[in-house]
């Protein structure tokens, strides 16, 4: 059993199960502290190098690095073992999801909510949801897969393949979609963000994993991830506090903005799941492959989206705010879809007994 499947075997831990609650509390803390200590948050915002905020960069690395250690690129050798599920995953993640998210963002922020959101804010929120839509999940999908008793080997393959594609496809897709929606893209900052938050953590994770496996096999990887995982969650929560600290005055003046941003995100999440799930059912894919192949497209690599939003548009931007709202809605949405998948397992052929 791989380290990822063993980690997933524990299911969703108590802390992760209530992640939305902790995020909500972090939002409240950020709003309070941002209004009580504006000078402190202003100083933190000024700590930038090449449009990269240094405190947030450290926090993002704390979130992303443990996930990258868990990626086993040896799984790429199994890429052809279950091609149907992988084909559905890749089509949904890279040919459908980014573009439907952009379309929903344009529909709601530029038209449906036009009378409720100033035009400049609408463009910022649109940029944020586009960043979310272009970043498929990496780590949490192992948990969602386990909760549906998905095939761990297949889940590992699909995540590894998506990570490799993300290194090359994320920046061009984001730049294209932001350009289509008339948002100016600073290419140098975008490429720097991808390098800093995808390529370098991926390389660091690969090197760390090789050293750990050489020392004590997969058990060493498990132990390392267990030790660093609290820093990942802490990094996420502190990042949320910072983001909402900078957004405090705007949000308190317009508290409905969170709900408005959540609407297209919710529609996108459920819509993408049912597209992938329906395609898997129509193609006769076994449930233990169909469930994870639908769930990976539904979930987002929100750590990357948050990091790039901050680098491109700033800590206090509406784009950064939109990506954090994605964090808030993701866990309850994913748990509801896991429950739905488990109730509809009988729709699919029997699982591959070799899985």
- The SS3 call for residue 136 is strand
Q: How far is CA 186 from CA 178, 179, 232, 323, 327, in A?
A: 10, 10, 28, 19, 25
CB count within 10 Å of CB 156 equals: 27
Residue 132 CA to residue 303 CA, distance in Å, equals 9
Q: Is there a contact between 330 and 18 (Cβ–Cβ < 8 Å)?
A: no
Identity of the highest mean pLDDT range in 6-15, 252-261, 338-347: 338-347
pLDDT tens figures, 49-83: 765 677 877 887 777 777 677 667 776 666 666 78
What tens digit of pLDDT does each residue of 273-282 get? 999 999 999 9
CATH class of 74-218+254-347: mainly alpha
The two counts, helices (H) then strands (E), for the chain are: 16, 2
Q: What's the CA gap between 284 and 43, in Å, rounded?
A: 56
Q: What is the pLDDT of residues 141-185, one digit of tens each?
A: 766 777 788 887 787 788 778 877 887 888 889 889 988 776 665
Measured CA to CA in angstroms, residue 42 lies from 38, 39, 96, 189 at distances of 6, 5, 39, 21
Give the start-to-end residue ranges of the domains of the chain: 74-218+254-347
Give residue-wise pLDDT tens across range 238-267. 877 887 777 666 667 677 888 899 999 999
Which pLDDT belongs to residue 328? 76
Q: What is the dihedral of CA 157, 162, 167, 173, to 10 degrees?
A: 170
Count of Cβ atoms closer than 10 Å to residue 223 Cβ: 13
Give strand pairing partners of 52. 49
pLDDT-based confidence at residue 351 (cuts at 50, 70, 90): low
């Amino acid at each position: 059993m791989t380290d990822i499947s063993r980690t997933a075997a524990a299911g969703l831990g108590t802390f992760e199960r209530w992640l939305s609650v902790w995020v909500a509390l972090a939002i409240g803390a950020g709003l309070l502290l941002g209004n009580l200590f504006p000078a402190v948050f202003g100083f933190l915002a000024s700590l930038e190098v090449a449009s990269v905020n240094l405190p947030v960069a450290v926090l993002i690395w704390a979130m992303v690095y443990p996930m990258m250690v868990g990626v086993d690129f040896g799984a790429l050798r199994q890429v052809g073992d279950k091609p149907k599920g992988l084909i559905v995953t890749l089509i949904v993640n890279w040919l459908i999801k980014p573009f439907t998210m952009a379309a929903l963002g344009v529909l709601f922020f530029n038209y449906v909510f036009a009378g409720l959101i100033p035009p400049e804010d609408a463009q910022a929120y649109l940029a944020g949801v586009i960043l979310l839509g272009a970043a498929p999940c990496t780590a949490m999908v192992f948990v969602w897969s386990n909760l549906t008793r998905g095939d761990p080997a297949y889940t590992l393959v699909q995540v590894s393949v998506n990570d490799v594609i993300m290194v090359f496809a994320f920046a061009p897709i984001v730049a294209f979609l932001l350009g289509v929606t008339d948002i100016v893209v600073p290419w140098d900052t975008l490429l720097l963000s991808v390098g800093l938050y995808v390529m370098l953590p991926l390389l660091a994770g690969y090197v760390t994993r090789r050293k750990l496996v050489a020392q004590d096999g997969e058990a060493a990887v498990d132990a390392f991830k267990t030790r660093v995982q609290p820093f990942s969650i802490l990094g996420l929560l502190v990042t949320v506090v910072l983001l909402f600290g900078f957004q405090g005055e705007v949000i308190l003046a317009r508290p409905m903005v969170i709900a408005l941003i959540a609407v297209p995100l919710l529609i996108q999440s459920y819509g993408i799941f049912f597209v992938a799930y329906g395609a898997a059912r129509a193609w006769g894919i076994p449930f233990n492959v169909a469930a994870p192949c639908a769930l990976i497209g539904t979930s987002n690599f929100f750590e990357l989206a948050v990091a790039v939003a901050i680098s491109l548009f700033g800590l206090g931007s509406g784009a950064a705010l939109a990506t954090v709202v994605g964090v808030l809605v993701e866990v309850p949405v994913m748990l509801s879809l896991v429950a739905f998948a488990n109730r509809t397992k009988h729709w699919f052929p029997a699982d591959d007994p070799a899985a």
